[in-house]
Amino acid sequence: MKKFYLIFACALMIISTIKAEVTDYSKGLSIWFDTPTNLDGRAIWLHASGNGANPDPVWESRSLPLGNGSLGANIMGSIAAERITLNEKTLWKGGPNTAGGADYYWNVNKQSASVLQEIRQAFLEGDQSKAEILTRKNFNGLAEYEEKNETPFRFGSFTTMGEIYVETGLSEIGMDKYKRILSLDSAIAVVTFRKDNINYRRSYFISYPDSVMIMKFTADRPGMQNLTLSYSPNTEAKGKIDSYGEDGICYLGELNNNKMKFAFRIRAINKGGSSTTTNDGKIVIKNADEVIFLLTADTDYKMNFDPDFQDPQTYVGQQPEQTTLKMMQQVMERSYEELYSRHIADYTALFNRVKLHLNPLSAINEDLPTDQRLTRYRNGIPDFHLEELYYQYGRYLLISSSRPGNMPANLQGMWHNNLDGPWRVDYHNNINIQMNYWPACSTNLNECMWPLIDFIRTLEKPGEKTARAYFNARGWTASISANIFGFTSPLSSEQMEWNFNPMAGPWLATHIWEYYDYTRDQKFLKEIGYPLIKSSAQFTTDYLWHKMDGTYTAAPSTSPEHGPVDQGATFVHGVVREILLDAIAASKELRIDKKERKLWEKVLTHLAPYRVGRYAQLMEWSTDIDDPADKHRHVNHLFGLHPGHTLSPITTPQLAEAARIVLEHRGDGATGWSMGWKLNQWARLQDGNHAYLLFGNLLKNGTLDNLWDTHAPFQIDGNFGGTAGITEMLLQSHMGFIQLLPALPDAWKEGSVSGICAKGNFEVSLSWQENELVEAIILSKVGSPCTLRYGEQALSFKTEKGKSYRIIREEDKIILTPKELE
């Protein structure tokens, strides 16, 4: 009888715990499904997907991503076996440790600067064909972009760490009440279902403060956990699985391509029952009440801002066997409750800064899975809560894939399930990595910018060699694609429309100023930011062609992924304006480099101007060859509208109208990321209804069931572009003042947003009714002067650091209430 009561009490405790932890995760800010996935992907995940469709569509559209910026995982939620894909963001093939060594890896730049004069002479003589041929032959690089074309493969690719499986001994027969949930509020994934009247639950999270993934398996009846955990490694690595005590395993691996070492450790903690490890590296749990798995992972990669070009070990650091052991030892000193609390405290401190409510009284209250809500939305049924969810999902993904101390979010954030993936899952510098960071500062996630800043710092020294080799220029630059090993060169292809992009470096450098402009961190600007900006501006001025008539133009240049080699592509001139304006502003802030500043100002004054073509469109190239029927996904020539600030309906209305015509010609469809960019551009044109149309198209036609963006295939930049675009609809500050609700669509009749940010280090909260501003609260974090604009009304006032100011609309005017808020 005593044993019966003990079991009964234990069961009650487990039931109460499950009920407390489940707490309506499928409601509120959650992505969830009501059907389990199949296990078909288990047999095909090792395929290389190249640039095409992912061979595992279930992973791509139905998995739930978790991450802490270093370690990533996808939860599938099958019944018979939980399948979890694993990523460590620095697990890359390629680099100076490939078989050819450092000399081979770094020997990728052609020495082409001497050809520039010949190309420019060809342009002067009107010989477009000669200019193109010379550019194609001389301004590519020596490294291949696909592994099949080069041995050893030096550019490399992001690759998977493998998969783990937790076999449960269960089947779907007799199963009901299934839910697979990703809570954006807590960064926790949960799988729940009932089978044979027993309620099962699995909980997953990846902790940034403790560098660990935690998986918890429970049921509301004792002794129901009969689990076998196994690991399926990356087949392009050699390694071994060792037991790690009686309840754990350790895998030590080494990539074949570059000998990069990686490791992960799994430790099982079971309540009740037994736990053993087998000779073939499995953890077997029998008859346990509860099982917690702890997983740590790492590689031997070391970020390097000043690489030694002769040393193949320049990117090699600590041994992952030791780092993962230290992580595990520290984790084992904490209880599950403590690990959970530390994770929640860390994550919510970032995520909870911003709240968005759209038409809250008209929100759909039906408890529908996300894929069903998306289907209804595609069929024209409004769902403002789904729009809020998409917005916050972008912030969730950025927090999960970009935390200080690691590389930035890549083409898929950090989630990838193949040996090779779309476009090497690399850092695409012609918009994709930049788009990943558009929402960082504006949605109050300044910390998430640091991986991008550090990444840019890793490109500086290699980029100096690329700048000299191709342009005999000072400073640094980068090209179309980058890896984690300082790759800044163009690739071997002669397809210049995508491969030739010397302004990728200056575009990246504009993000350095962006971070400063939002934070106003003078120490950062002086010690880290300005040297990068200045060096990029020096490259820019040296790269430009100073013609005999005194004008400056970009020759040769391209409009990324579109059109001919040109003697002055509008996109390039847009980036030139932006980086030189940033450099001028930065030098003034620091009161240095007055002589250099005068040169930058001179170049800006004499730079070839924006031009309007025969269709009243903003011209993409130096000659009027635009086609109004062209629906190309790239809208590079509108860089000055967004993300730049040299085109605006306020300051350059005629040019803004020409930009509008370009967008009308290109249309409202495209790949996911392209619709995300157009959304931002329509918002900058202050056309809220058209911006909302693009947002709707992005959700309907560029979004997978798990709300991941699709090109196709899955690319994460569209998610970030969408979140940034919604923020631009509600707040803009790129023109030197703060605009309130500049592109509010008719559909969002009432709502509120809190915690979004404006340049000058202001935090802004807004509410509106009947599409009109009701109130704005401006928190001044550094005490900068504040200028607001709402419609045709403007208001300027001084602020004090740490004080909040309330603005209301009264008789179509905005007024500052007489008393500051504490």
Rounded Cα gap, residues 504 and 470, in angstroms: 14
- For 810, half-sphere exposure in the C-beta direction (CA atoms, 13 angstrom radius) is 6
Sorted by sequence, the CB contacts under 8 Å of residue 73 that are 6+ apart come out as 65, 66, 67, 84, 85, 86, 87, 204, 206, 213
Q: Is 83 exposed, middle or buried (0-12, 13-18, 19+ CB in 10 A)?
A: buried
Residue 624 structure tokens: 């009027």
Same domain membership, residue 317 and residue 179? yes
Tens digit of pLDDT for each residue in 214-257?
Answer: 999 999 999 999 999 999 999 999 999 987 777 899 999 999 99
Residue-level pLDDT at 17 = 39
- Comparing CA positions, the residue from 411, 556, 534, 563 lying closest to residue 482 is 411
Instruction: Calculate ∠ Cα 694-697-698, nearest 5°.
Output: 85
Residues forming beta bridges with residue 198, ordered by sequence position:
195
Confidence of residue 384 (pLDDT cuts 50, 70, 90): very high
Sort strands 30-33 and 64-67 into parallel, antiparallel or unpaired.
unpaired
| Residue 128 falls inside a structural domain | no
Peptide bond into 643 cis (omega under 30): yes
Separation CA 575–CA 571 (nearest Å): 6
Beta bridge mates, 228 = 167, 284
Strands (E), 196-304: 198-207, 212-219, 225-233, 237-243, 248-255, 261-271, 274-277, 283-288, 290-299
The yes-or-no verdict on residue 65 having pLDDT over 90 is yes
Beta bridge partners of 270: 291
Q: What is the mean pLDDT of residues 395-409?
A: 98
> What pLDDT score does 10 carry?
41
HSE (CB half, 13 Å, CA atoms) of 779?
13
What distance in Å separates the CA atoms of residue 394 and residue 443, rounded to the nearest whole number? 10
Task: Establish if 123 belongs to a structural domain.
Answer: no
Per-residue 3-state assignment (H helix, E strand, C coil) for 273-303: CEEEECCCCCEEEEEECEEEEEEEEEECECC
- Are 341 and 428 found together in one domain? no
Is 459 in the same domain as 598?
Answer: yes
Q: Flag whether pLDDT at 353 surpasses 70.
A: yes
Confidence (pLDDT) at 26: 64
572 and 615 co-located in one domain: yes
Q: Is 633 helix (H, G, I), strand (E, B) or coil?
A: coil
What pLDDT is stored for residue 114 in this prediction? Answer: 98
**So what's the pLDDT on residue 770?**
97
The pLDDT value recorded for residue 785 is 97
At residue 104, the pLDDT reads 97
For residue 420, what are its two tokens?
């090779």
DSSP bridge pairs for 773: 768
Q: Please check whether residues 292 and 392 belong to one and the same domain.
A: no
**Can you name the residues that pair with 807 across neighbouring β-strands?**
776, 816
| 335 and 433 together in one domain | no
- Tens digit of each residue's pLDDT (9 = 90 or more) over 18-37: 444 545 566 679 999 999 99
Q: How many CA atoms lie within 13 A of 690 on its CB side?
A: 17
User: pLDDT class for 751, splitting at 50, 70, 90?
Assistant: very high
Sign of CA dihedral 571, 573, 577, 578: positive
Which residue has 């020409």 as its token pair? 658
Structure tokens at 313: 């070990």
Query: Which residue, 714, 676, 705, 744, is CA-closest to 391?
Result: 676
- 686 in a structural domain: yes
Bridging pattern class, strands 738-740 and 786-790 = parallel
Q: Tell me how far CA of residue 793 lies from CA of 577, 686, 689, 758, in angstroms.
A: 29, 15, 21, 18
Chain centroid offset of residue 618 CA: 29
HEC letters along 742-783: CCCCCCCCCEEEEEEEECCCEEEEEEEECCEEEEEEEEECCC
Q: Which domain holds residue 200?
A: 2-44+52-94+156-303+310-351
Structure tokens at 100: 């050819």
Q: Among 735, 759, 778, give the residue marking a domain's end.
A: 735
Q: Tell me the Cα Rg of the chain.
A: 27
- Give mean pLDDT, residues 342-347: 98
Burial of 335-364, coded b for 16+ CB within 10 Å and e otherwise, reads eeeebbeebbebbeebbebbebbbbeeebe
In a domain, 660, yes or no: yes
Name the strand (E) or helix (H) holding 306.
none
Q: Which one, of 477, 644, 511, lies nearest residue 586 by Cα? A: 511
pLDDT at 347: 98
Residues 662 and 517 in one domain: yes
Q: Is the model's pLDDT at 545 over the cut of 50?
A: yes
Pair of tokens at residue 166: 């937790």
Amino acid 362: pLDDT:
84
Nearest to 697 by CA among 663, 665, 674, 729: 674
Is residue 716 within 8 A of residue 436, CB to CB? The reply is: yes
CA distance 451 to 449: 6
Distance, first Cα to last Cα, the chain: 62
CB-side neighbour CA atoms (13 Å) of 366: 12
Reported as type and span, the H/E element at residue 803 is: none
pLDDT above 90 for 720: yes
Find the mean pLDDT for residues 659-685.
Answer: 98
pLDDT digits 0-9 by tens, 259-287: 999 999 999 999 999 999 998 899 999 99
Residue 746 lies in a domain: no
Q: Is 369 within a domain?
A: no
Residues 318 and 429 in one domain: no
Q: Looking at 686, 704, 735, which one is the last position of a domain?
A: 735
Q: Residue 771 pLDDT more than 70?
A: yes
- Confidence tier at 822 by pLDDT (50, 70, 90): low
Whole-model pTM: value is: 0.96
- What is the domain-level CATH number for residue 468? 1.50.10.10
Q: Which residues pair with 81 in a beta bridge?
A: 167
Q: Kindly state whether residue 750 falls inside one of the protein's structural domains.
A: no
Q: How do strand 225-233 and strand 162-167 relate by DSSP bridges?
A: antiparallel
DSSP conformation letters of 330-366: HHHTS-HHHHHHHHHHHHHHHHTT-EEEESGGG----
Whether the pLDDT of residue 503 is over 60: the answer is yes
Residue 451's Cβ-count burial label (10 Å; 0-12, 13-18, 19+) is buried
If asked whether residues 340 and 404 sit together in one domain, one would say no
For 303-333, what is each residue's pLDDT tens digit?
999 999 999 999 999 999 999 999 999 999 9
- The answer on 544 and 407 residing in a single domain is yes
Q: Any idea what the CATH number is for the domain that residue 203 is in?
A: 2.70.98.50
Q: What percentage of residues in the chain have a pLDDT greater than 70?
A: 95
- Is residue 50 predicted with pLDDT exceeding 80? no
Mean pLDDT (whole number) for 728-739: 98
Q: Please tell me the total count of domains within the chain.
A: 2
Position 149 in a domain: no
Give the span between the Cα atoms of 31 and 9, in whole angstroms.
34
* 43 has pLDDT over 90: no
SS3 651: coil
Cβ atoms of residues 180 and 202 within 8 Å: no
Tokens of 555: 């020759």
Residues 342 and 469 placed together within one structural domain of the fold: no
CB 635 within 8 A of CB 648: no
As given in the structure block, the two tokens for residue 78 are 């099958």
* Least confident piece of the model among 27-36, 489-498, 518-527, 570-579: 27-36
For 449, phi then psi, to 5°, come to -75, -20
Q: Look at 36-50, 440-454, 482-496, 550-564 and tell me which has the smallest mean pLDDT.
A: 36-50
Helix then strand then coil, in percent of the chain rounded to 5, is: 35, 25, 40
What is the pLDDT at residue 1?
40
Cβ proximity of 617 and 661 under 8 Å = yes
What letter does residue 126 receive in the DSSP assignment? Answer: T
For residue 653, say if its preceding peptide bond is cis, omega within 30 degrees of 0.
Answer: no
Average pLDDT of the chain is 94
User: Does the pLDDT value for residue 53 go beyond 90?
Assistant: no
Residue bearing tokens 């420019």: 120
Q: Cite the beta strand spans of 9-63 per DSSP E.
A: 30-33
Residue 678 has phi, psi (to 5 degrees) of -60, -35
Based on the fold, state whether residues 395 and 258 are members of the same structural domain. Answer: no
